[in-house]
Amino acid sequence: MSGTLYLVATPIGNLEDITPRARKILETVSTVLAEDTRNTGSLLAKLDIKAKMRSYHDHNEVHAAPHVIAELEDGADIALVSDAGTPVIADPGFVVVRAAVAAGINVVPIPGPCAAISALIASGLPPERFIFENFLPPKSGRRKTLMQSFAIERRTVVFYESPHRIIKVLAEMKEILPRAEVVVARELTKMHEEFLRGTPEELLAHFAKKPPKGEIVVVLNTRKMQDNVSDDSCGDGDDE
């Protein structure tokens, strides 16, 4: 009988966000595949979880996946974690998940923290339909083209951003999406968690006084801008 591939979410800042089920799985599988064994090692030590780890990351994923599948086919239960949050979401894992599915191996999600979902649900922007854009393209031209598509997007858009680039991205947004409703969610679940809400221009003014730091998720919605209204019920889905 084949083993099971568990996709285990881990805390994104607050250690209390580890679930009892995640703890149990990490303690019982034969191997924990970790994006960075040092990071996961220190997380597991703080959580007092003993596990046998092996490295599994973007650069060895294609090479490592067939070995993982062979072990699963031999009956081993294996867990995959990323540095923080939900594995596979803007993190390695897709290659092995796809291979496991193709091989008929049981793939089991162990849900828990995810920065994108945490930011979305507390953003105050319409959550009923949303798209996740991972990190925006590194090149400004491609980023701006994507932003232009947000101008006619009815769904809320969620993406990850770095503190080093957020000013540049907000400046581009000010040009392309001047009346977008934007939420910058910072340091989620940590001591300095904060949600900054406003237009791109208002957020730029804030960061001019207080430079951005820490981990960031951006949530934005352009419906109000598209409909040219000053207030929005933001309630119940599409209004076409």
Residues that bind ligand SAM (CB under 6 A): 12-13, 82, 84-86, 89-91, 114-116, 160-162, 185, 187-190, 215-217
- Distance, in Å, from the CA atom of 72 to the CA atom of 5, rounded to the nearest integer, reads 7
Q: Residue 238 CB, nearest distance to ligand SAM (Å)? A: 27
Q: Residue 157 CB, nearest distance to ligand SAM (Å)? A: 14
Give me the helices (H) in 125-165, please: 140-150
Nearest residue to the partner ligand SAM, using Cβ: 85
**Is the CB of 103 or the CB of 167 nearer to ligand SAM?**
167
Q: Residue 230 CB, nearest distance to ligand SAM (Å)? A: 30
Closest by CA position to 42, among listed 75, 12, 83:
83
**Is the CB of 175 or the CB of 194 nearer to ligand SAM?**
194
**Is the CB of 84 or the CB of 203 nearer to ligand SAM?**
84
**Is the CB of 198 or the CB of 214 nearer to ligand SAM?**
214
